[in-house]
């Protein structure tokens, strides 16, 4: 591979990473996570996930094989955080309903802050 080809490839990868690491939600609106206070996993995120996503095997409850699969523990939610962020930001999940704006912002900001087990 020539130096020019390597440079082009590195430039493309850098641009792709910069776009992928944006803190904007998928709807294009900027989300200021410093104003979102309800982003603790145990108190805020897990109750939303359990009531909106993990309530049955037909969704992401025990025995589910849908999308990222079961979302019944911190580990399973953490491991699926990229898929969860994309689905919540785009509004494609939860299927058949929608999250309130504050719930959506809580999930997005929790993930954007590293998805801590707090």
Q: How distant is the alpha carbon of residue 37 from its chain centre?
A: 17
117 within domain boundaries = no
14 within domain boundaries = no
7 within domain boundaries = no
Angle, CA of 23, 26 and 30, to the nearest 5°: 45
- At 22, which helix (H) or strand (E)? none
Q: d(Cα 49, Cα 68) in Å, to the nearest integer? A: 13
108 within domain boundaries = yes
Q: d(Cα 118, Cα 85) in Å, to the nearest integer? A: 18
37: containing domain: 26-112
52 within domain boundaries = yes
Give the pLDDT confidence of 86-112 residue by residue, as tens digits. 999 999 988 888 899 999 999 999 999
Residue (of 49, 42, 26, 50) closest to 112 by Cα position? 26
Count of domains in the chain? 1
13 within domain boundaries = no
Q: d(Cα 115, Cα 41) in Å, to the nearest integer? A: 8
42 within domain boundaries = yes
What is the mean pLDDT of the segment spanning 42-50?
94
Global pTM reads 0.71
72 within domain boundaries = yes
């Amino acid at each position: 591979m020539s130096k020019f080809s390597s440079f082009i490839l590195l430039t493309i990868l850098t641009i792709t990473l910069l776009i992928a690491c944006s803190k904007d939600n998928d709807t294009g609106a900027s989300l200021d996570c410093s104003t979102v206070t309800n982003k603790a996993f145990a108190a805020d995120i897990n109750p939303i996930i359990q009531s909106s996503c993990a309530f049955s095997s037909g969704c992401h409850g025990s025995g589910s094989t849908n999308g990222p699969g079961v979302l019944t523990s911190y580990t399973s939610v953490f491991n699926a955080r990229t898929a969860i962020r994309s689905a919540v930001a785009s509004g494609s999940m939860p299927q058949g309903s929608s999250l309130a704006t504050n719930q959506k912002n809580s999930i997005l900001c929790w993930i954007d802050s590293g998805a801590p087990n707090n």
